[in-house]
């Protein structure tokens, strides 16, 4: 099962800073923070006012904080280019001021941007630098933002036990300090890992707890996330009507919030539900909207997933040539990012597509590529690329065992397809 959406990212917009911020700017930014998750337009207006006031008075500590907060808002609404410039401006100002707390917070923000762009090695580097600096300053609570983002990296790459350990540590710290917002973040992320492991009941418990807390503090972004993922559980347990209801609730809320990443996620989920109702036109429309938003955001991983979804639907409609083109685009992106799970799925889809078009050599090529994603050597290379040294004999044995039975099954499947083609039966079940 793929992740339902992008995991919630934490910025910690109002961590402690050693540099004194102008009282007039601080008051406006605190008011902007109150509206950040409920009325983003008002939050933008207040944050812009705070930045203008800080720049007019040429007060660098105030400018740095205002730049960083504006960067958070632009990230939330999908303007990654503007967010990047504002985070960089904040980082340079904090460095000039020697404000280590501000530097640590900015490093985390920049790491989030690299994560959103699917540049995981750089993201991990920035997160670790941020955490190390915060811990050196004695800011255990502040380190939780980086821990959440590191947990997200591990979950993306299939290191679920390490991800859960990071999220559980965040939840423990947040609960001890009565930090409701961080408790929500930790619960949502823990539920996502459990969803990936098909542990639906504990995932639902986490999501319902997070939903109650988000309603308590009027956090509409987290509320939309919970609604989407509850819909995901109903989707995966084939309770389609309930899934459709929760996805539509999430879609409406995310549209109000101008949450482009959230919209893309929910639209992709809706497309899959429409397929179950054999409403292929609405499904295709949902997938194309999701693709558009992912491309606007520059989210390569989600773009690859959307391209694969479109290709799979085109197979169902019998348009194999067009499906192959979308799979090719998705595979190109997934190869660049070394997304093994997505590559495995798209290689399999491309193999079937070429077999249906009677392009036997091409079908065999993608069978070979499919088999490489099951080989333990892929796991070793991936660990090296991402600076993980946690590979062990048990995991290698597990991947070798999978390879031993999946590869022959896949080969038999292709041979059957070729036999059908030889007999003149080109319809693919």
Q: What are phi and psi for residue 141, nearest 5 degrees?
A: -65, -45
Helical H segments across 277-392, by residue range = 280-297, 300-316, 320-337, 340-356, 360-372, 376-385
Q: Which has more pLDDT, 141 or 350? A: 350
Least confident of 132-136, 176-180, 221-225, 333-337: 333-337
CATH T-level fold of 140-208: 1.25.40
How far is 269 from 250, CA to CA, in rounded Å? Answer: 11
CATH number of 219-291: 1.25.40.10
The confidence score (pLDDT) of residue 68 equals 94
8-state DSSP, 15: -
Cα Rg of the chain, angstroms: 23
Share of the chain above pLDDT 70, in %: 82
pLDDT of 276: 94
* Span of 9-23, 81-95, 157-171 with lowest mean pLDDT: 9-23
Q: Give the confidence band of 395 by pLDDT, cuts at 50, 70, 90.
A: very low
Split at pLDDT 50, 70, 90, the class of 413 is: low
pTM value? 0.58
Cα→Cα distances 131→23, 150, 309, Å: 28, 10, 37
pLDDT higher than threshold 60 for residue 33: yes
Please tell me the distance from the alpha carbon of residue 407 to that of residue 309, in angstroms, as a whole number: 24
More confidently predicted of 376 and 33: 33
Is 241 or 423 the better-scoring residue by pLDDT?
A: 241
Instruction: Give residue 340's pLDDT.
Output: 78
Q: Helix, strand, coil proportions of the chain in percent (round to 5)?
A: 80, 0, 20
**What pLDDT does residue 88 have?**
94
Given a cut of 50, is residue 26 above it in pLDDT? yes
- Dihedral (Cα; 65, 70, 74, 76), 10-degree rounding: 70
Q: What is the pLDDT of residue 8?
A: 34
Q: Is residue 139 very low, low, confident or very high in pLDDT (cuts 50, 70, 90)?
A: confident
Residue-level pLDDT at 75: 87
Longest dimension (CA), the chain: 81
* 75/80 Cα distance (integer angstroms): 5
Residue 45, C-beta contacts closer than 8 angstroms, at least 6 positions apart: none
* Lowest-confidence segment of 4-8, 48-52, 161-165, 227-231 by average pLDDT: 4-8
Domain ranges of the chain: 22-135, 140-208, 219-291, 299-374
**pLDDT of 112 above 50:** yes
- Tell me phi and psi for residue 233, to 5 degrees: -65, -45
Tell me the C-alpha distance between 66 and 72, whole Å: 10
CA 1 to chain centre: 14
Query: With bands split at pLDDT 50, 70 and 90, how would you rate the model's confidence at 119?
Result: confident
d(C-alpha 182, C-alpha 166), whole Å: 13
Residue 4 pLDDT exceeds 50: no
Pick from 245, 213, 242, 246: which is nearest to 229 by CA?
246
Average pLDDT over residues 193-212: 94
| The pLDDT value given to residue 427 | 41
Name the CATH superfamily, with its identifier, for domain 22-135. Answer: Tetratricopeptide repeat domain (1.25.40.10)
pLDDT averaged over the chain?
Answer: 82
Measured between its terminal Cα atoms, the distance across the chain in Å is 22
Fold for domain 299-374?
Answer: 1.25.40
Rounded average pLDDT over 373-384: 43
Confidence grade of residue 423 (pLDDT, cut at 50, 70, 90): very low
Token pair for 312: 């799979």
């Amino acid at each position: 099962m793929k992740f339902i959406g992008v995991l919630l990212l934490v910025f910690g917009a109002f961590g402690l800073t050693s540099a004194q911020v102008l009282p007039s700017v601080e008051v406006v930014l605190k008011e902007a923070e109150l509206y950040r998750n409920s009325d983003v337009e008002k939050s933008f207006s207040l944050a812009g006012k705070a930045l203008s006031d800080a720049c007019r008075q040429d007060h660098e500590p105030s400018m740095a904080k205002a730049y960083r907060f504006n960067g958070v808002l632009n990230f939330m609404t999908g303007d990654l280019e503007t967010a990047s410039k504002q985070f960089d401006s904040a980082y340079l100002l904090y460095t000039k001021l020697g404000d280590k707390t501000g530097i640590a917070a900015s490093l985390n923000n920049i790491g989030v941007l690299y994560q959103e762009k699917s540049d995981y090695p750089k993201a991990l580097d920035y997160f670790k630098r941020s955490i190390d600096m915060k811990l050196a300053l004695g800011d255990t609570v502040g380190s939780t933002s980086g821990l959440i983002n590191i947990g997200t990296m591990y979950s993306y790459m299939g290191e679920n036990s390490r991800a859960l350990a990071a999220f559980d540590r965040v939840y423990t710290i947040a609960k001890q300090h009565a930090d409701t917002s961080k408790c929500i973040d930790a619960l949502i992320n823990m539920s996502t890992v459990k969803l990936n492991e098909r542990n639906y009941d504990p995932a639902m418990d986490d999501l319902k707890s997070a939903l109650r807390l988000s309603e308590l503090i009027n956090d509409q972004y987290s509320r939309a996330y919970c609604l989407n993922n509850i819909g995901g559980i109903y989707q995966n347990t084939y309770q389609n009507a309930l899934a459709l209801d929760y996805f539509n609730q999430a879609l409406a809320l995310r549209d109000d919030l101008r949450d482009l990443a959230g919209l893309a996620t929910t639209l992709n989920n809706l497309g899959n539900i429409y397929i179950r109702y054999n409403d292929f036109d609405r499904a295709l429309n949902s997938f194309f909207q999701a693709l558009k938003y992912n491309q606007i955001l520059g989210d390569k991983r989600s773009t690859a997933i959307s391209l694969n979804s479109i290709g799979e639907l085109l197979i169902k409609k019998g348009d194999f040539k067009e499906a192959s083109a979308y799979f090719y685009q998705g595979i190109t992106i997934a190869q660049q990012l070394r997304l093994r799970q997505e590559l495995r799925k798209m290689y399999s889809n491309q193999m079937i597509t070429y077999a249906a078009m009677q392009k036997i050599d091409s079908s065999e090529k993608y069978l070979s590529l499919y088999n490489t994603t099951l080989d333990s050597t892929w796991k070793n290379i991936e660990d090296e690329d991402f600076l993980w040294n946690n590979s062990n004999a048990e995991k290698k044995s597990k991947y070798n065992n999978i390879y031993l039975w999946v590869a022959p099954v896949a080969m038999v499947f292709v041979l059957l397809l070729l036999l059908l083609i030889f007999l003149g039966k080109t319809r693919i079940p």
